């Protein structure tokens, strides 16, 4: 290259120095800095919050979870290294989601301290596991809300079946279980066991060294009457009244919808029980039979009476659940606990929006760790013990036999990953749905199971946590 073809003017070069080859790339000629732009020195913070999370500055990471030869958890690795191990047959796949491999050779077992934060809840659970520098897993679990309805349906079938018996010996000694200490209703017990099952599953593929659960206590009286004090806690709305007499006085002994009086009145729910309403007195009203029949399964607001819907206070099922199981959960897991006001303080200080995942990250003492991609976890019932009602000429029987494939199972058919939608032809054919939405019918012999779709199903969400 000649002197006339130089495209960069060199600065601070002596005139008697011979010119040499040089690069014109801006990456090599940039100004030297004391630190990288993504890092902030503690002495040069200025007005920048030192606890800001690395959610927007850096990309979220994806981890592959690793088990040793004894199926004990190790520190996760990168997707590239996991792919190389699988190609060399030094590891095998255990789970598809979250993707977990097991090593086929002995290796070192150096582990870091991992803290797991759990944001317990009635309908959703947030979880986050962090180390000193990274967040290894995070997500949100959607709990089942149909357990109570299924129990009511089962009770109806059981009572109908027992009423058809000619003679049944009275049994009164099987009711003492409800009087035992620590007894929980089946629907509440199911949610408590789901929390415990989730923590055990995370501990299966991550070497958790510390678990922290947020413990919350709610005053249900103050939630509706903030100024209540002292003896007023013992003087509820029904003091000196029976439920029906209280409602007659409250609604002026007339129908709440058509305002007719002097006619028979019925007690009905402002928000129907099938729509999540409760039997609390605030959710009850009086109506004539005609209005009650016309209202049907609608709420008072949908029926055209928004002023009556104001009387129905918010359900306290979630509050009752947290007050009931908060202590049992911590005692069974033998873990640490924190409180909601502490979580709120640090979440606002970090600049994170309100969500179960961000709360779990703060509960785990997270601050400047590199965030991971979020898992969306759905809980699906494992068994379907329903009555067969299509047997013409025979009495209904309970179906106890399961087919080979169940809905939501992940299978492979003709080198395509599909989800099972159902089976037909007495279980010999399977109806599949591809990830593009195409429905395929395949013979049972041409389908290979990859993983079952029951219990806690993890799905990776590509979106990263956002800040305020």
Neighbours of 152 (CB within 10 A): 12
pLDDT tens per residue, range 140-150: 999 998 888 88
Per-residue pLDDT band at 283 (split at 50, 70, 90): confident
pLDDT at 11 over 60: no
Please indicate whether residue 32 or residue 199 has the higher confidence score (pLDDT). Answer: 199
Instruction: Specify whether the CB–CB gap between 431 and 422 falls below 8 A.
Output: yes
| Whether residue 98 has a cis bond before it, omega within 30° of 0 | yes
Superfamily for domain range 48-161+183-220+316-383+454-468: ATPase, nucleotide binding domain (3.30.420.40)
Per-residue pLDDT band at 241 (split at 50, 70, 90): low
Rounded Cα distance between 427 and 424, Å, is 5
Rounded Cα distance between 287 and 269, Å, is 10
Instruction: Specify whether the CB–CB gap between 266 and 286 falls below 8 A.
Output: yes
- Say which residue the tokens 């303080």 belong to: 345
CATH number for the segment(s) 241-309: 1.10.30.50
Domain-by-domain residue ranges, the chain? Answer: 48-161+183-220+316-383+454-468, 241-309, 387-453
pLDDT at site 82:
94
pLDDT tens per residue, range 296-325: 888 888 888 887 877 676 677 777 777 778
pLDDT tens per residue, range 89-118: 999 998 888 999 999 999 888 899 999 999
Kindly give, in sequence order, each residue whose CB lies less than 8 Å from that of residue 65, ignoring residues fewer than 6 positions away.
Answer: 73, 76, 95, 98, 99, 100, 101, 137, 205, 206
Per-residue pLDDT band at 56 (split at 50, 70, 90): very low
Please indicate whether residue 44 or residue 175 has the higher confidence score (pLDDT). Answer: 175
pLDDT at site 403:
82
Please state the length of the chain: 468
**Which CATH number applies to 387-453: 3.30.2290.10, 2.30.30.140, 3.10.200.10, 3.30.365.10?**
2.30.30.140
């Amino acid at each position: 290259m000649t002197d006339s073809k130089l495209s960069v003017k060199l600065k601070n070069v002596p005139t008697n120095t011979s010119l040499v080859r040089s690069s014109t790339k801006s990456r090599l000629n940039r100004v030297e800095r004391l630190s990288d732009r993504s890092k902030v020195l503690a002495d040069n913070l200025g007005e920048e919050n030192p606890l800001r999370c690395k959610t927007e500055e850096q990309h979220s990471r994806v981890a592959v979870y690793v088990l040793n030869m004894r199926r004990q958890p190790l520190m996760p690795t990168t997707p590239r290294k996991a792919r190389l191990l699988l190609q060399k047959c030094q590891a095998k796949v255990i789970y598809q989601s979250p993707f977990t491999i097991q090593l086929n050779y002995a290796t070192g077992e150096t582990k870091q301290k991992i803290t797991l934060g759990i944001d317990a809840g009635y309908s959703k659970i947030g979880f986050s596991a962090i180390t000193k520098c990274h967040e290894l897993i995070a997500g949100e679990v959607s709990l089942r809300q149909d357990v109570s309805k299924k129990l009511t349906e089962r009770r109806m079938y059981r009572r109908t079946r027992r009423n058809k018996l000619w003679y049944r010996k009275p049994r009164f000694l099987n009711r003492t279980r409800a009087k035992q200490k620590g007894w929980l209703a089946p629907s509440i017990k199911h949610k408590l066991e789901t929390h415990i099952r989730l923590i055990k599953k995370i501990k299966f593929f991550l070497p958790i060294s510390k678990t922290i659960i947020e413990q919350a206590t709610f005053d249900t009286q103050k939630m509706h009457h903030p100024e209540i004090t002292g003896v007023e806690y013992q003087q509820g709305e029904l003091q000196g009244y029976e439920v029906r007499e209280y409602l007659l006085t409250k609604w002026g002994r007339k129908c709440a919808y058509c305002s007719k009086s002097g006619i028979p009145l019925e007690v009905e729910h402002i928000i129907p029980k099938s729509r999540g309403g409760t039997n609390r007195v605030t959710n009850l009203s009086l109506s004539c039979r005609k209005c009650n029949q016309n209202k049907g399964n609608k709420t008072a607001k949908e029926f055209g009476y928004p002023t009556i819907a104001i009387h129905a206070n918010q359900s306290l099922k979630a509050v009752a659940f947290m007050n009931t199981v908060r202590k049992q959960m911590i005692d069974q897991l033998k873990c640490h606990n924190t409180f909601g006001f502490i979580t709120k303080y640090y979440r606002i200080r970090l600049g994170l929006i309100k969500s179960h995942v961000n709360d779990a990250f703060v509960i785990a003492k997270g601050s400047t760790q590199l965030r991971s991609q979020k898992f969306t976890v759905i809980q699906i019932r494992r068994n379907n013990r329903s009555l067969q009602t299509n047997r013409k000429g025979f009495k209904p029987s309970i179906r106890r036999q399961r087919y080979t494939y169940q809905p939501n199972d992940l299978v492979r058919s003709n080198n395509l990953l599909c989800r099972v939608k159902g089976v037909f032809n007495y279980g010999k054919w399977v109806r599949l749905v591809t990830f593009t939405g195409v429905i395929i019918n395949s013979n049972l012999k041409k389908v290979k199971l990859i993983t079952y779709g029951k219990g806690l199903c993890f799905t990776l969400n590509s979106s990263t946590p956002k800040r305020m």
